[in-house]
């Protein structure tokens, strides 16, 4: 068993706490916010609110009450959120796509902004007479309301009793602010500004170690066609890459997964791009690597492809068959050679001299980090034992389930990235 060679940066990764806290807005990275708009003049601020939530990394679905559509159009909210806006409780089109129950399950947070006195009264009384109130009843997600009303309506004992009841049920109250109101009155009842609402939403979630970061991960095997029915490939199942993708999302990252053909379900919240050949994978990587913070090459890319692909099924005629192979592009090296590449992480599955070959690949491909592993044990297995090789040291990661080891790998990557950027 290899011992850590340097008690320096790499070893510290496993001993120290990770990484310095990032700005809170990052805790919205990957979060699903259902924005409920009820019918008040402050509804116009929802355009900016949606834009800011998306900028902070959240995905936004908008549900409007009928009254809200008098103040801001569903079309505006659709254009800004990038998603169809939901208004009707009984909507055959929505039922076919995302029903109220699916929306209720989808949300990490339901934010009602603006929340009118009437809407607060309705949810305080557990009404379910429109889509938004029904959703709130049907959801286990945290609920937050941003009241917006005339100061006298806010001060009214009935409204205060309703708000108290909501708070007692765990509903968060964002605001209201004091100041001049649309009706000319001055006092409490103004909806918080979009920026304050975004901060309030962010404060409800803990930032993960990868919050605010974008990862590009290659996965699975590639297939290189010989003829219409045959190809050259390998035994990569995609399990390691998919485990990294789902753990990275859980740690707050945005993940793009460029995947060869595998039989795995796409992890939630991951954007997957399907490819077949090494050239397809390279094209997809070149199209998506810009703006990424971390590139992880887990794919077992075919190093060679047949020089010619027969358009007809190759017939069994001769005693032997010779197929000329030509070299495929080296995807990870191509990305590493670009200007301002992401933090580059490779994998190497070897059958002998695992560490020596791993070190050589780290150097040759100009990578920041590489996980060397035993090809015989890792392909299509649920577990992996890998050694992290970095220009300044090596650390052995104990054998474990691929999700467990993926968490260790991501922890290490996030620490090294912080050091690199320091």
Q: Tell me which residues touch ligand PMT (CB under 6 A).
A: 218, 220, 236-240, 278, 297-301, 303, 328, 330-332, 346-349, 361, 365, 373, 378-380
The Cα–Cα gap between 198 and 25 comes to 8
The Cα–Cα gap between 283 and 182 comes to 53
Which residue out of 13, 46, 171, 183 is catalytically annotated?
Answer: 183
In terms of CB distance, is 308 or 380 closer to ligand PMT? 380
State which residue has the least CB distance to ligand PMT. Answer: 297
In terms of CB distance, is 142 or 261 closer to ligand PMT? 261
In terms of CB distance, is 100 or 305 closer to ligand PMT? 305
In terms of CB distance, is 147 or 260 closer to ligand PMT? 260
In terms of CB distance, is 190 or 365 closer to ligand PMT? 365
Tell me, yes or no, if 183 is annotated catalytic.
yes
| Contact between residue 285 and residue 218 where contact means Cβ atoms under 8 Å apart | yes
Instruction: Tally Cβ neighbours within 10 Å of residue 351.
Output: 9
Cα dihedral 124, 130, 135, 136, rounded to 10, equals -10
In terms of CB distance, is 71 or 304 closer to ligand PMT? 304
The Cα–Cα gap between 298 and 259 comes to 10
| Contact between residue 394 and residue 387 where contact means Cβ atoms under 8 Å apart | yes
Give me the residues paired with residue 373 across strands: 349, 386
CA distances to 1, 152, 223, 235, 259 from 380, rounded to whole Å, are 23, 66, 16, 6, 15
DSSP structure class, residue 86: B
The Cα–Cα gap between 402 and 406 comes to 6
Q: Which of 214, 310, 313, 290 is nearest to 256 (CA)?
A: 214
The β-bridge relationship of strands 172-173 and 177-180 is unpaired
The Cα–Cα gap between 47 and 44 comes to 6
Instruction: Tally Cβ neighbours within 10 Å of residue 339.
Output: 5
For residue 220, the minimal CB distance to ligand PMT (Å) is 6
Q: Which of 117, 123, 119, 122 is nearest to 136 (CA)?
A: 123
Which residues carry out catalysis? 183
């Amino acid at each position: 068993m290899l011992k850590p060679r340097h008690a320096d940066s790499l070893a510290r990764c496993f001993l120290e706490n990770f990484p310095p806290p990032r700005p809170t807005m990052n805790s919205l990275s990957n979060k699903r916010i259902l924005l409920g708009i009820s019918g008040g003049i402050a509804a116009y601020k929802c355009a900016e609110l949606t834009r800011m939530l998306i900028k902070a990394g959240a995905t936004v679905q908008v549900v409007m009450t009928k009254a809200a559509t008098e103040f801001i159009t569903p079309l505006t909210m659709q254009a800004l959120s990038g998603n169809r806006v939901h208004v009707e409780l009984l909507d055959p089109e929505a039922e076919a796509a995302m029903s109220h129950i699916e929306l209720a399950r989808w949300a990490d947070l339901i934010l009602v902004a603006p929340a009118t006195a009437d809407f607060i009264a309705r949810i305080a009384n557990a009404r379910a007479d429109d889509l938004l109130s029904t959703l709130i009843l049907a959801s286990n997600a945290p609920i937050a309301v941003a009241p917006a009303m005339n100061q006298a309506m806010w001060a009214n004992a009935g409204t205060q009793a309703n708000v108290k009841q909501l708070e007692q049920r765990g509903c968060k109250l964002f605001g209201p602010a004091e100041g001049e109101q649309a009706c000319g009155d001055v006092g409490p009842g103004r909806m918080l500004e979009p920026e304050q609402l975004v901060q309030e939403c962010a404060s409800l979630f803990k930032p993960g170690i990868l919050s605010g970061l974008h990862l590009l991960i290659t996965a699975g095997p590639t297939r290189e066609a010989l003829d219409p029915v045959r190809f050259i490939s390998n035994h990569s199942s995609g399990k390691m890459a998919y485990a990294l993708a789902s753990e990275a999302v859980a740690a707050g990252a945005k993940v793009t997964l460029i995947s060869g053909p595998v039989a795995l379900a796409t992890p939630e919240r991951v954007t997957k791009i399907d490819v077949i050949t090494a050239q397809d994978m390279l094209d997809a990587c070149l199209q998506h690597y810009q703006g990424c913070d971390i590139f992880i090459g887990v794919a077992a890319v075919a190093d060679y492809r047949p020089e010619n692909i027969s358009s007809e099924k190759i017939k069994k005629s001769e005693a032997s068959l010779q197929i000329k192979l030509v070299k495929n592009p080296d995807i990870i090296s191509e990305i590493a050679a670009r200007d301002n590449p992401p933090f580059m992480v490779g994998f190497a599955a070897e059958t002998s001299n695992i560490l020596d070959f791993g070190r050589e690949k780290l150097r040759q491909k100009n990578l920041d980090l590489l996980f060397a592993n035993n090809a015989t044990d890792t392909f299509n297995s649920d577990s992996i034992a890998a050694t992290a090789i970095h220009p300044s040291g090596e650390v052995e990661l104990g054998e474990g389930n691929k999700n467990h080891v993926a968490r260790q790998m991501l922890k290490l990557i996030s620490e090294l990235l912080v050091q690199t950027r320091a």
